[in-house]
Every structure is written in structure tokens, then in C-alpha cells.
Amino acid sequence: MRAIRRFTVRPVLPPALAALGDLAGNLRWSWHPETQDVFAAVDPVLWDTTGRDPVKLLGAVGRSRLEELAGDQGFLRRLGEAREDLERYLTGDRWFQRRWAGEGGPRAIGYFSPEFGITAVLPQYSGGLGILAGDHLKAASDLGIPITGVGLLYRHGYFEQSLSREGWQQETYPVLDPDGLPISLLREQDGSGALVAIALPDGPDLLARIWVAHVGRVPLLLLDSDVEGNPDHYRDVTDRLYGGNSEHRLRQELLLGVGGVRALRAYSRITGAPAPEVFHTNEGHAGFLGLERIRELTVEETGPRLDFDTALEVSRASTVFTTHTPVPAGIDRFPRTLVAQHFSEAGATPGVPVERILTLGTEDYEGGDPSVFNMAVMGFRLAQRANGVSQLHGHVSRGMFNGLWPAFDEAEVPIGSITNGVHAPTWVAREVFELAVAHGADRESDVPDSFLATVDKIPGAEVWAVKRRLREHLVADARRRLTASWEKRGAARAELGWIDNALDPDVLTIGFARRVPSYKRLTLMLRDPERLKRLLLDPERPVQLVIAGKSHPADDGGKKLIQEMVRFADDPEVRHRIVFLPNYDIAMAQPLYPGCDVWLNNPLRPYEACGTSGMKAALNGGLNLSILDGWWDEWFDGNNGWAIPSADGVEDPDRRDDLEATALYDLIENEIAPRFYDIDGEGVPTRWLEMVRHTLKSLGPKVLATRMVRDYVRELYAPAAGNARRLNSDFHGAAELAAWKKKVRGAWPAVRVEHVESSGVGDAPEVGDVMSARAFVALGDLSADDVDVQLLHGRIDSADQLTGTVAESLTLAESYEGGRHRFDGDVTLDHSGPFGYTVRVIPRNDLLTSAAELGVVALP
Ligand SMILES: *Cc1c(COP(=O)(O)O)cnc(C)c1O
């Protein structure tokens, strides 16, 4: 029988246990084992059967048990300590207060993302992008950074994965009842739920309520369109993550971007929280936030009423855009007509001219499609600061988006990079953490030094004992999951005896888990199935593989790869050595990374923008075995793991896969397994542990989300806040900058390099000679202060192009009539071989972040 209505009854806790509600209401418990211990003590069995979910636990525990606990002095003391610890965490001064308060740090930052992966009990993520967003918020909380997350609450989350008998991925979409989740409704003073409204074409306004999750010190606002007052098809806007057609996706992104800014405003109005000075969009999906900010500044009655160009400068100066994928299919592109419909006069941002909006998303470069609206392109145009997520990805992105700044070389494209990191308290196994603490690490410290100092002190036998225990946990978890999966696949219990011997805690364990788009090459290891079998079944040095990953529901190609993998792993000959575990999520990931000795990653270079799972493995003493892509390209040092040579440049994809798969088998067979099984007299693989220690020391400080978030503050948030203040105090700066850009763009056709002379180098120039250059330029209506006249010099390659170019500004020497000027400068010839130079003129203004920002240049 189906219920006609459902709701969740919240428990009433005895007053003595009120603190349990406080602890459950802040997700800090999810990375704080001591708080989890308190919940476990409420009822250890229920704690496990509710999936270690505090809200569910407190809903399920009986009144009599609660009354018993209310009289249990030992429990009350522990509860009180945990509550005090949370209070200290929430209110004490941390890195940001010590380092940035009063030093120009941003007052507040709004961080927008389509998904957030914080804990398994709030399943609002599909993969790396969401996990990264969750880790960003957690690390910001640990560092005391005043950030507020903005996202959507999806009623079905992503999906749960199971397998058919034949190994085909099955999706189910369980209903998430918000009342049973660790979130609370944002309410107006009168107790009614706060709402945001967005005008849509051909219908009433789209309404959304706002849920708040507390991620330590950081609030996360989640918009939810499943509210009374919305017609059914509006209620479905937030039905699931990455589902539906273009219109559905566009409406989700309207809600996230435009609705998100309105939600932040409501949150500030109701709670008094400071308004963000910086807006960060994690991937392009939330890009419409810039349009809503322009609307606020240009049409809102209470606001300053700027013109569009001035408002654009204000909004740009304070916006940061992070691009996350070099895979073109990963970038949102909408039909222009659809965007035009939604931003027409009566649309989402009324008063903002729709032609201006359309221009922002136009692919007006060579090879661009004039019929689409590109969210990444808009992202770059609405953000003064942009970055990729590893050095290699920054480089790839500069090439990929060079068309937006065609007058500039790739190296000058204004896209930087900040390499991702992971939140250690979430991802480091408790056993590893406690081993370090037992040897003197400071558990309160937010810098890794005290942990790193213990790495060489801990005896190998202790490290190895912990690693074995972690492998044991993984094996137990995997067997539990295999049993559940096979029961779902229709097997009888009696057929499943073999699972008791699936995997072995003493065998070299290799993990591979990630989403299954084709570039990640889930099945590369199956290129030569016989060779893989030999590795798995080697009598002396066996290897075992734990594999997991979800395919997007619409991607049958991905599902085929999963099926191929599952069929291989179903074979009775190898099924004790290779397992595919369905439904990869945070709950599976947490015991998986620590339980693996080697973490495998074999994407098609350079499509993995960064990758983070290998970082989580490394922090648990796992060694990476990976293609040199994303973060591994940057931080592999020859001794902290293994690089699978990538056959870049081999055109035939089959041949490339063959070459890379062979290299992978060779590494496992000749280097990895022999080292792992090279055991000394005490049963410890000393040479292996040397690599583990080196991994922890070389990667430990780098792969942390706290390092990443500090970089964001220093390189992007603080400079953005600074620029925003200079522009916005009375909007004069922005108006001047907008007027200046207009003047420069209008005058630029008259800007010319007329003539360049050099002297000081004769027929046989030598290293150390000084060349003097004089450039005669015509600037039309611009003054010499408006421009930078640069001498660009470097080597000359075989195609007669300048490479390794260095730009040096020349100085104004003389001005003539008619807007003509001479600029002079010297350059020392500091290397031998082919040398070349040229002169260029580019616009100059302190408020620009990059020479390329206006996209214009004059060359001889
Ligand atoms: C870390 C993580 C990811 C992302 O891993 P990549 O290496 O970026 O593919 C995806 N899913 C889960 C559950 C994770 O924990």
C-alpha cells in the first residue's frame, strides 16, 4: 500500500541530551571520529544499521534508551566534552583570523557548485567535482575562512547503482526526505520558510525554499523547488543531479546561479551574515550568478543603478571562475534560443538586456558554433580571475580557450591554476591518524608538519601492522557488498560460499574507482585478459584488484565497460582476486583508499584535469600507479610511486591502449609485486615502506585541501576582494574602468607600431652585448599612460616563431605631435643561439589582472 503523504517525525530529546541534537545538526561529526564515538555509544547496533547517520539514529532510538542515557553520568560527561569541543571549533580564532583579519582578506565568499559531496548521508554529488566542493568547504571551515556554499537540494540525489544478473548497471532513485537529512529550513522571522522566486517564460514564477547544512563553521545553502505553490513540472526542477534535457538543465542552472544569489541575500537579511565580497563558481554551471549581480546593480530600486558596463566591471572584479574539464562534452552549451527565452524582458533577470547576455556566451572564435550559448565562455567573460585545477590542466585550458584572446600567445591567456587537494580529516583512516598521534603528532594542528615529523620515527613493523588491519577492513567491507550485490543479482545464499574467501588481507591490493566516462578507461587493464589473469593468480606474488565506478545513466558506452569488467570479475577462476563493487560513494571510498597498497589511474592524457582519489590514497600510505596526467604529472618525482608511460602522439587509439596497457602490466609484474613481496626477517617489506615514507613526506604537504584553500585565498579571493573594493566603494572606480575600456576599444584601431630601431649589436653579436631599442608608436586618442609598449624577445624556433618570450616594458622617451611617441629600452643578450624580438602595444591599467584582459594588441 502506498502512503498518500509522508513526513518524518523529529525526535524529542530529553533536555539533558539536547547536545546530541546540536552535534547531529553540524556535519563536523562526519570528519570528527570522537563525535562519532558519542553517537555510537547511544546505540552501537543502531549506529551501524542506520548507516552511521546521526539524524536517523536519533530518530530510531527508543524513549527508554534515551531516558537511560539522560541518567548516565559517564555518557553525559562525554557528551558535554564533545559539545564543548564543537563550540571551541566553531568560535575560536583560526588561520584566517590570525593571518587575514584586518589584512584585507575578503569579508565573505559565496562558493557556488552544482554538487557537494560532504558525507554519504547527504548524497548530493556524482563524483570528483562534488567531493572537491565538499572538501573545499571543510578545509575552509578548518581554516576559519568566511565562506558560504550555495547549491541545489536534489530530491533523488544522483542515483544508486546496482547490477543485473548480466552485469548491466541498474539505476534507482530513492526519495530523500529533507526532514530526515542533516539540514534545516531557512525561516523568516515569522516562522514561514524563506523563498526565492525566479520568473520563467510562459508560466508563474519558479519558487524555491532554502535548506541550510552546517559544515563546521561554513553554512551551505541548498535550493529546493519541491514546494507547495509550484506546478508539478517546476517541483521537478531539482529532481536529480545531471538529469533531463537542455531546458531542464537550464532551469537548474538558473536556480543555482540567479536563485543562489537571491538565497545568499535572504540568508544575510535573516541571519545578519555579511554579504559576500567574492563570488566563486566551481565549474560553469552557476555562471548566471553574474547576471543576477548585474541586475541588482542596474535595475534594483534600492541599489546604485549603474549602467550595464559599469555593473559588469563590478561583478567581474569580484568573481572567480574555476574550470574543471578539458573534455568538450563536459562543458554546458545551450541553444541560444532557449537562453534568449529565459532572459527575455519578463525573464529571470528583468531589465538586463538579453542581447548583452547572449553576447557573453557566444562562441565568437574560429570553430565556434554560432547557435549555442557556452557556459564556460560566459564564465570567463564574467570573471576577472579564472583557473584550472592542476598545472597541466591550466596549460591545456589556456590552449583550449585561446580563441577568446586570439591576439595573445597561449602562455598569456589569463587562466591560472591551483591544484586540487583533499580534506585529510575526512580521508585519512583513523588508524593512520592515531598511529601518528601515538608517535607525537599534534592532533589539533592545522599544519601537517607535526604529522610529517613522525613519518620516519614510526617503526616499519607498526606501519605494516596498521596497513594490514586497513586491508582487513576493506576485505570485510568488500565481502559484505559482494554478498548484497549477488543477492540482488538473484543468487541464492547457498551459491555464495566463495565470497568468504574473496580477497585476502595479505595480498598486494590495487584499487581503481572513479566515474566511467570513456577517457578514464576503466577497462584498460582488460586489454590482455590472459596476462591480467596471470598477474592475479601468480602463485608467489599474487595481486588483487578492487574496482568500482558509476556510469552516467544516459551513457550506454560506459555501462558496456562496466559490464565487461563485471563479466571478467564473475569468472570463478579469478573472482577471489578481482571484484567490482557497485555503488561507489563516500561510504565505500572511506575504507577503500586506506585498504589499498596501490592506487591505479589510467586516463587518456590530458583529459584528467586533476584527479583526487590518488591523493587520498597517498595520505593513507598508498602508492600511486598512474599515467602522468593531472596532479600526478606535477608531483610524481620518480620515487613516490610509478608513472605509466603514456603513448602521447600515437594516433591509433587501439594501439595507444595496447602500448599503455603493456606498460601497466610490466610495471606491476617487474617492479611493484617484487617490491611488495620482498619481506625482511621481521616480515616487513622494507623497500616498500621506504616508498611509503617518501610518498607521505613528498606528497603529504601538497595534496591537502587546506593548502589548496590557502592558495585560493592568497591568489584569488584576497586580490579579488581588493580589486572589488577599489572599484566599488562608491562605484566610481568601476564607472571609470568601464569608461576607460570603452575609450580604449574605440581608439584601438588607430594604435600602431610605426617603426622600430635597434642599436648596440653589430654583425657578430655575443652573449653579454646590450641591445638598445627605440619604438615609434602612434596612439591616436590614447595617452602614453593608457598603454604598455613592450619589447618581446626570445629564441626563434624552426618555424621562425618567437618562443620562451620575455616581455619588457619600454619607457616613454619623447612625445611628438599627432599622438606619436617614442619608447626606449635596453636588453642584454643572455643566451647564445637564434634570438629575435618584436614590439607590441597593449592597454595598461592597474585594475586589469592580465595583459590579455581586453584582448587587443598592436604589433608592427
Ligand atoms: C575522491 C572521489 C572521487 C573523485 O576521484 P577522482 O580521482 O577525481 O576520479 C569520486 N568519487 C568519490 C566517492 C570520491 O571519494
Pair 829, 793: CB distance under 8 Å = no
What are the sequence ranges of the domains in the chain? 15-91, 95-420+712-728, 453-703, 747-843
Q: Which ligand 1 atom is at minimum distance from the Cα of 422?
A: 1
Q: Where are the alpha helices (DSSP H) in 775-828?
A: none
d(CA 535, CA 669): 7
Mean predicted lDDT score pLDDT of the chain:
94
Ligand 1 near 584 CB (within 6 A): yes
- In the chain, the amino acid numbered 768 is G
CA of 514 to the centre of ligand 1 (A): 6
Ligand 1 near 586 CB (within 6 A): yes
Write the pLDDT tens digit of every residue in 598-654: 999 999 999 999 999 999 999 999 999 999 999 999 999 999 999 999 888 888 999
CA 650 to chain centroid, in Å, comes to 30
Write the pLDDT tens digit of every residue in 805-847: 889 999 999 999 999 999 999 988 888 888 889 999 999 999 8
Residue 227's pLDDT band (cuts 50, 70, 90):
very high
Q: Would residue 157 be called left, alpha or beta, if left means φ above 0 and alpha means ψ between -120 and 50 degrees?
A: left
**Is the pTM value of this prediction over 0.85?**
yes
Residues 6+ apart with CB under 8 A from 702: 419, 421, 635
3-class DSSP state of 225: coil
CA atoms within 13 A of residue 426's CA, in its CB half-sphere: 32
Mean pLDDT within 748-763: 90
> Which superfamily, per CATH, for 453-703?
Glycogen Phosphorylase B; (3.40.50.2000)
- Report which DSSP code applies to 194: P
Atom 4, ligand 1: residue with shortest CA distance: 128
Mean pLDDT within 449-473: 94
Looking at residue 251, what is its pLDDT? 97
Q: Residue by residue, what is the 3-state secondary structure of 585-638?
A: CHHHHHHHHHHCCEEEECCCCCCCCCCCHHHHHHHCCCEEEEECCHHHHHHCCC
Write the pLDDT tens digit of every residue in 290-317: 999 999 999 988 878 899 999 999 999 9
CA of 549 to the centre of ligand 1 (A): 9
Looking at residue 616, what is its pLDDT? 98
Write the pLDDT tens digit of every residue in 4-51: 666 666 678 999 999 999 999 999 999 999 999 999 999 999 999 999
Among 322, 276, 285, 316, CA closest to 148: 276
The length of the chain in residues reads: 860
What is each CA distance from 554 to 372, 558, 560, 603, 814, in whole angstroms? 22, 9, 12, 21, 65
Pair 381, 411: CB distance under 8 Å = no
CA 241 to chain centroid, in Å, comes to 16
Write the pLDDT tens digit of every residue in 53-99: 999 999 999 999 999 999 999 999 999 999 999 999 999 999 999 99
Ligand 1 near 624 CB (within 6 A): no
- Report which DSSP code applies to 483: H
- Taking the CB of residue 606, how many other CB atoms lie within 10 A of it? 21
Q: Do 453-703 and 747-843 agree at the fold level? A: no
CA of 564 to the centre of ligand 1 (A): 22
With the most atoms of ligand 1 within 8 angstroms of its CB, the residue from 612, 615, 633 to mutate is 612
Residue 190's pLDDT band (cuts 50, 70, 90):
very high
Looking at residue 103, what is its pLDDT? 79
Ligand 1 near 608 CB (within 6 A): no
Pair 407, 856: CB distance under 8 Å = yes
* CATH code linked to domain 747-843: 2.60.40.2440
d(CA 15, CA 35): 19
Mean pLDDT within 277-295: 97
Terminal C-alpha separation, the chain: 80
d(CA 841, CA 857): 6
Paired strand residues for 109: 147, 278
Does the structure show a pLDDT above 80 at 444? no
Pair 541, 509: CB distance under 8 Å = no
- Report which DSSP code applies to 392: H
pLDDT, greater one: 65 or 444: 65
Atom 11, ligand 1: residue with shortest CA distance: 127
CA angle 295, 298, 302 (to 5 degrees): 95
Which grid coordinates belong to 706?
587546506
Ligand 1 near 632 CB (within 6 A): no
Looking at residue 130, what is its pLDDT? 98
In the chain, % of residues over pLDDT 70:
99
Pair 340, 358: CB distance under 8 Å = yes
Ligand 1 near 128 CB (within 6 A): yes
- Burial of residue 84 (number of CB atoms within 10 Å: 0-12, 13-18, 19+): exposed
Cell 508560466 found at? 203
Looking at residue 230, what is its pLDDT? 96
Pair 400, 607: CB distance under 8 Å = no
Residue 204's pLDDT band (cuts 50, 70, 90):
very high
CA 848 to chain centroid, in Å, comes to 26
CA of 128 to the centre of ligand 1 (A): 4
Looking at residue 447, what is its pLDDT? 66
d(CA 384, CA 313): 9
Looking at residue 8, what is its pLDDT? 64
3-class DSSP state of 777: strand
- Taking the CB of residue 382, how many other CB atoms lie within 10 A of it? 26
Mean pLDDT within 785-795: 93
Q: Which ligand 1 atom is at minimum distance from the Cα of 420?
A: 8
What is each CA distance from 307 to 67, 382, 664, 687, 816, in whole angstroms? 64, 16, 59, 67, 36
* CATH code linked to domain 95-420+712-728: 3.40.50.2000
Cell 576582494 found at? 721
Write the pLDDT tens digit of every residue in 118-147: 999 999 999 999 999 999 999 999 999 999
3-class DSSP state of 812: strand
Q: Where are the alpha helices (DSSP H) in 641-794?
A: 653-667, 673-676, 686-699, 705-711, 718-728, 732-747
d(CA 690, CA 701): 18
CA atoms within 13 A of residue 552's CA, in its CB half-sphere: 11
- Taking the CB of residue 362, how many other CB atoms lie within 10 A of it? 17
Ligand 1 near 514 CB (within 6 A): yes
CA 70 to chain centroid, in Å, comes to 42
CA of 613 to the centre of ligand 1 (A): 5
Q: Where are the alpha helices (DSSP H) in 100-231?
A: 128-143
CA of 520 to the centre of ligand 1 (A): 12
Q: Would residue 649 be called left, alpha or beta, if left means φ above 0 and alpha means ψ between -120 and 50 degrees?
A: left
d(CA 15, CA 76): 11
| Axis-axis angle for helices 686-699, 460-488 (nearest 10) | 90
In the chain, % of residues over pLDDT 90:
85
Q: What is the DSSP string of 464-516?
A: HHHHHHHHHHHHHHHHHHHHHHHHHTT--GGGGGGGGGSS-TTSEEEEEE---
d(CA 780, CA 639): 58
CA of 612 to the centre of ligand 1 (A): 6
d(CA 420, CA 325): 13
CA of 419 to the centre of ligand 1 (A): 15
CA of 535 to the centre of ligand 1 (A): 26
Residue 217's pLDDT band (cuts 50, 70, 90):
very high
Residue 709's pLDDT band (cuts 50, 70, 90):
very high
Bond before 328 cis per omega within 30 degrees:
no
Does the structure show a pLDDT above 90 at 202? no
Ligand 1 near 127 CB (within 6 A): yes
27-31, 190-194, 848-852: least confidently modelled range: 848-852
